[in-house]
Amino acid sequence: MGKDQTVLFHSTIFGPIHSRRLGVSLGINLLPNDGKICSFDCIYCEAGYNRQGHGKAGLPSREKVADDLRTKLQEMNQAGERPDVITFSGNGEPTLHPDFAGIVDDVIALRDEYCPQAKVSVLSNSTMTGKADVVSALRKVDNNILKLDSAVEQTMRLIDVPQQPDFTVEKVVEQLSVFADQCIVQTMILRGEHDGQPVDNSTPEEIDALIAAYQRIKPREVMLYSIDRSTPEEKLQKVEIDELRVIAARIEQAGIKVQVN
């Protein structure tokens, strides 16, 4: 294993971040401000491995999230600024928060009050999509972005390191297919080595398996992306944009809309 990373978000609401792709973006971190909690332990996680611990701050309450977001939106309004997108991401998996569904309702209500044009997005690792309240909350947001890094069981386990033993590719594909065009599937394409084992989800066999899974899920679109910042496993290589585009073209031939980031 490589060195631990400590690139954590140190607040519940972060940003605004200005990007060419998303515009003005606000982030919501439903995890602790000083540690990480996730049901995966991805070898590419920008927040580092789970072994760094949960920290001491605990999860923010539903009230704190709403209060902090209201304050931020009021500050932005006073500065003549409005977010284009409000995204749940942060130091781990947002749907693990026990009040996730209620928080989504609060965030949508605040968005409607302060910046009705803004889109609400959730970046989730898909592990909680078997829970009815999580599913109905994810259906309410504009961009329900769900992770599927490999449709080959062994590769998924090597890349994502799911923490629940009963999490399988078969199960998650079935659960994601419930959303169909109410979800966007996000896939990190990478290659390298982890714990002495080769890891590569860019091979033709891997892409074929992903295409078969996407065809079952029928998402609104697939987002392919690659490593952008440093990763806890240092023996991973960035798959360059040109190669991502070649993979995207192959997936599009199977009738699936693809965005490359």
In the complex, the residues that contact ligand SF4 under the rule CB under 6 A are: 38, 40-42, 45, 47, 92-93, 125
Q: Which is nearer to ligand SF4, 93 or 200 (CB)?
A: 93
Angle of CA points 110, 124, 235, to nearest 5° = 135
Tell me how far, at minimum, the Cβ of 189 lies from ligand SF4, in Å: 14
Q: Which is nearer to ligand SF4, 40 or 179 (CB)?
A: 40
Q: Which is nearer to ligand SF4, 92 or 192 (CB)?
A: 92
Diameter over CA atoms, the chain: 54
Tell me how far, at minimum, the Cβ of 156 lies from ligand SF4, in Å: 12
* 225, burial (CB in 10 Å: exposed 0-12, middle 13-18, buried 19+): middle
Tell me how far, at minimum, the Cβ of 92 lies from ligand SF4, in Å: 5
- Residue 258 one-letter amino acid: V
Q: What is the dihedral of CA 65, 66, 71, 77, to 10 degrees?
A: 120
Token reading at 36: 């990480």
Q: Which is nearer to ligand SF4, 45 or 110 (CB)?
A: 45
Tell me how far, at minimum, the Cβ of 117 lies from ligand SF4, in Å: 28
Q: Which is nearer to ligand SF4, 8 or 86 (CB)?
A: 8
- Ranges of beta strands (E only) in 21-140 are 23-29, 85-89, 119-124
Q: Which is nearer to ligand SF4, 41 or 84 (CB)?
A: 41
Owner of token pair 């923010």 = 60
Tell me how far, at minimum, the Cβ of 245 lies from ligand SF4, in Å: 23
Assess whether the previous peptide bond of 165 is cis (omega < 30° from 0). no
Q: Is 20 helix (H, G, I), strand (E, B) or coil?
A: coil
Token reading at 212: 């078969």
| Side-by-side strand order, sheet with 143-147 | 13-19, 23-29, 85-89, 119-124, 143-147, 184-188, 221-225, 258-260
Tell me how far, at minimum, the Cβ of 182 lies from ligand SF4, in Å: 20
Tell me how far, at minimum, the Cβ of 252 lies from ligand SF4, in Å: 25
Q: Which is nearer to ligand SF4, 92 or 219 (CB)?
A: 92
